[in-house]
Chains A and B, each alone.
Chain A
Amino acid sequence: MPRSLLDKVWDAHTVRELPGGQTQLFIGLHLIHEVTSPQAFAALREARLGVRFPKRTFATVDHIIPTDSQRRPLGDPLAEEMLQHLERNCAEHGIAFFGPGSGRQGIVHVIGPELGLTQPGLTIACGDSHTSTHGAFGAVAFGIGTSQVRDVLATQCLALARPKVRRIEVTGKLAPGVYAKDVILTIIRRLGVKGGIGYAYEYAGPVVDAMTLEERMTVCNMSIEGGARCGYVNPDETTFAYLQGREYAPAGAAFERAVAWWRAIASDPGAAYADRVEIEGHALAPTVTYGITPGQAVAVDERVPFPADLPAEERAGVEEALGFMELRPGEPIAGVKIDVAFIGSCTNGRISDLREAARVAQLGRVAPGVRTFVVPGSQEVQRQAEAEGLPEIFRAAGFDWREPGCSMCLAMNPDKLRGRELCASTSNRNFKGRQGSPTGRTLLMSPAMVAAAAIRGHVVDVREVLG
């Protein structure tokens, strides 16, 4: 019987079935960082347990790392303490740690792929909801909490219920100025922020087939914002080409054997899906959120909705959102003034994102009064950007070029909104208070759109800026 990738990977990793319909699933790759792991290691110690497969866990520091200087000790003593805990825990248990001095530090979802750790057919878990990013390679990858981090350390397994699979086909071709970010924002807008509960999203169709791995990562990254704990793209030639030559990818004859397995793990033609959705790629436009959930979005040429025009169950949420955002119903989203521009995060902090933003940035200068943060996703992205002269382009346009980390995506480091500032952001969440000020406001959009907003001082259709 034809099977989906999810079912094949799930079956291959099943240790045993547990009572009540859960599976004990082997985890092929475990990624950890400083925020959600210290309590897990403490629990392990308390239970007198070791790490069962230390070579299958890799660590980095990303959430709390400052982006002005990574010099030790970190300026924030709490951040320094968290980093020291991670260093000690990794050393004690023989876990590889990509710290600030390693040259390989970065956002966990950026470095996993670039090091070749993320591969098709794996189950991947990390104490971070954006672990769904790794699904871009045809892995089954999902975020977990700290108790589950403890379980993976102790047993390399998790107890989970198998999700259903919804296939989302994006047809046709994207117009210039329309990016992977616009595809996923549109999918979430269409299916809702809870539409994916109980599902894995399989992204497919000509638009997804034509995407680079980095673009697929942007799409898979935000699966969780649509309620789907994991999202994936079937592995193909683009995937194999990306992996070849990477540090932890198989090499030589092993690479050929790996490719054969990766091909076999992809969804079979004719596989059954619990649900199917089609999105017309040619109809997509640059998309911007106006509210406090990633599903509250409009195309850049649309207006903020009138709550009365929406389905009853969405009305209260949109009213609350418009009040918080200080936007009027019926107001065009283009023209909304911004105070801050943030380019970075596990959604859009990779080299191709910075290239697109730089292409727009060189057409102007940052508007007066707009604060900017351009934060590479990793030290490798930083090196690549430097080799291409991107920092000079950004600096010449008045953008602030920073050191790698999560930065203002969640503002656990010193990069924060102040007061009611409104931020055009390439990150993944526009939740109340997400960017560090309890009353700060966020508009999510693509890197090119953020760069365009930065130089105009307000939301603008990037296609207009590019001319």
Chain B
Amino acid sequence: MSSDARVVRVEGRGCVLRGDDIDTDRIIPARFLRCVTFDEVGAHAFEDDRLQAKGNHPLDDPRFAGARLLLVGRNFGCGSSREHAPQALWRFGFQAFVGESFAEIFFGNCVALGLPCVTLPRAELTRLMESVELDPRQELVLDLAKGTLASKLGAQAVAMPDGARRQLVEGAWDATAVLLAAGDAIEATAARLPYVGGYTA
């Protein structure tokens, strides 16, 4: 794995998307899943929410234009396993997610794309959201090696499960190479499972 796969720091402005339990159907509605590549999904991130908000959606707010960190609430990305969701947000321009908690499949999909999802306790997250809403131009610096998020509030400790954090920091988030490295141990494991041989022995 080349060293440029390492994801240690994400720097940039923040975009505040309030609300809990935001599901992947809202992030990318199912009709945009009728495709065989991810190329076009970025244009449709949160499309239906944005249409209904008539320009008042955070993704259309000029103050947040060009933001790289998306600040979200609790259980973000719940529901469908569609990787189109993080693909859409990444292609829209986000490179990291900061929230109170993330749904597991969404989290795993993000790691597989090299996108960190870090968490803050609710009270601290609320303070950060308020700060970014008051001063959207401030730079945020997410440092995965230190486990901190720097903003005008100073450095806050952010959490991420260690396995996933290491995958990003060490540039090993493209799991295929890691899994292939097990070599014949894969076949050896299969051979020990009674069903793989059709329960013949």
Partner-B contacts on A (CB < 8 A): 12-16, 18-22, 24, 26, 28, 35-36, 38-39, 42, 47, 49, 52-53, 63-64, 76, 78-79, 81-82, 85, 119, 121-122, 127-129, 131, 142-148, 150-151, 154-161, 193-194, 197-198, 224-225, 227, 229, 250, 254-255, 257-258, 261, 293, 313, 316-317, 320, 410-412, 429, 431-434, 436, 438-439
Contacts and interface: CB of A to CB of B under 8 A. Distances in A.
A7 B34 CA distance: 38
Nearest to B86: A145
B10 interface: no
Given A261-B199, A317-B20, A432-B48, A194 B101 contact: yes
Contact of A13 (B20, B189, B199): B189
Given A193-B75, A194-B74, A39 B38 contact: yes
B26 A151 contact: no
Interface stretch (B77-85, B89-97, B139-147): B77-85
Contacts of A197: 75, 101, 103-104
Interface in B58-84: 74-75, 78-83
B195 A28 contact: yes
A376 B185 CA distance: 42
B150 interface: no
7 contacts: A20-B162, A36-B81, A36-B83, A39-B36, A85-B36, A143-B81, A143-B105
Interface stretch (B130-138, B151-159, B164-172): B164-172
B175 A147 contact: yes
B74 A78 contact: no
Given A129-B105, A229-B105, A15 B75 contact: no
Contacts, number: 216
B36 A38 contact: yes
A438 B52 contact: yes
Interface residues on B, range: 35 or more
A397 B96 CA distance: 53
A49 B112 CA distance: 18
Given A79-B34, A411-B31, 20 more contacts: A15-B186, A15-B189, A18-B178, A20-B165, A53-B190, A78-B34, A147-B83, A155-B176, A159-B178, A197-B103, A250-B198, A254-B198, A254-B200, A313-B20, A316-B19, A317-B19, A410-B25, A412-B30, A429-B23, A438-B29
A128 to B, nearest CB: 6
A19 B101 CA distance: 23
Question: Sorted from nearest, which 4 A-B pairs have the closest CB atoms?
Answer: A20-B163, A147-B112, A145-B109, A438-B48
A313 B122 CA distance: 10
A257 B38 CA distance: 45
